[in-house]
């Protein structure tokens, strides 16, 4: 019983502190209507938009003019990922997916400076991961294909 009493006392003191903290910024003797005014004003203000779709479009357009996902070296893939991250067109998770790149087939010793078809390789990864029911890898493959697909759409529209 002693512990229950201590818990109830602590709970009541937390409620009292919460009630007091709501009134900290108001002068003593202020009317209740004055206390509600800032909260009512806060509800009426609109949030500031921090996302600008034109920035993403411009980043993908710039990436499409500089890189071809069907013929990129690993260095170009890294520069593409850096460009999109710096422009905030992708988040850090997508950046890491792009940097990792699609897995190479076992036994292939390809030159890292040779152009590679990243779009086809990501599609190949997606089909292999789907057949193994690897949902995490399927999600990563889909994200990479979405990003590269946006770049290919812009490239095809410009052509």
Quickly state the pLDDT bin for 24 (edges 50, 70, 90). very low
- Which range, of 70-79, 85-94, 107-116, averages the lowest pLDDT? 107-116
The answer to whether the pTM exceeds 0.75 is: no
How does pLDDT run across 12-21, given as a tens digit for each residue? Answer: 555 544 454 4
Residues 6+ apart with CB under 8 A from 80: 63, 66, 67, 72, 98, 151
Give dist(CA 140, CA 98) in Å, integer: 9
Is 84 found in the same domain as 28?
no
Is 60 found in the same domain as 31?
no
Give dist(CA 65, CA 45) in Å, integer: 40
How does pLDDT run across 54-83, given as a tens digit for each residue? Answer: 578 899 999 999 999 999 999 999 999 999
Domain span holding position 81? 53-158
How does pLDDT run across 121-149, given as a tens digit for each residue? Answer: 999 999 999 999 999 999 999 999 999 99
Secondary element (H or E) of residue 80 = helix 74-86
* Closest C-alpha to 75, from 104, 101, 107: 101
**Tokens representing residue 145 in the block:** 């294909």
Rounded mean pLDDT of 111-126?
90
Is 29 found in the same domain as 88?
no
CA dist 141 → 101, 106, 124, 127 (Å)? 9, 18, 9, 9
Is 75 found in the same domain as 29?
no
């Amino acid at each position: 019983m002693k512990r229950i009493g201590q818990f109830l006392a602590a709970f009541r003191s937390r409620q009292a502190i919460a009630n007091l903290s709501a009134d900290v910024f108001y002068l003593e003797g202020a009317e209740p209507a004055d206390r509600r005014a800032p909260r009512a004003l806060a509800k009426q203000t609109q949030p500031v938009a921090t996302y600008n779709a034109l920035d993403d479009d411009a980043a993908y357009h710039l990436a499409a003019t500089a890189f071809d996902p069907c013929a990129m070296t690993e260095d170009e893939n890294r520069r593409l990922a850096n460009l999109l991250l710096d422009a905030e067109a992708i988040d850090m998770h997508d950046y890491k997916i792009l940097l990792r790149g699609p897995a190479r087939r076992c036994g292939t010793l390809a030159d890292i400076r040779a152009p590679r078809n990243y779009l086809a390789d990501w599609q190949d990864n997606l089909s292999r991961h789907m057949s193994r029911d690897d949902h995490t890898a399927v999600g990563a493959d889909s994200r990479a294909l979405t990003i590269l697909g946006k770049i290919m759409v812009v490239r095809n529209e410009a052509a």
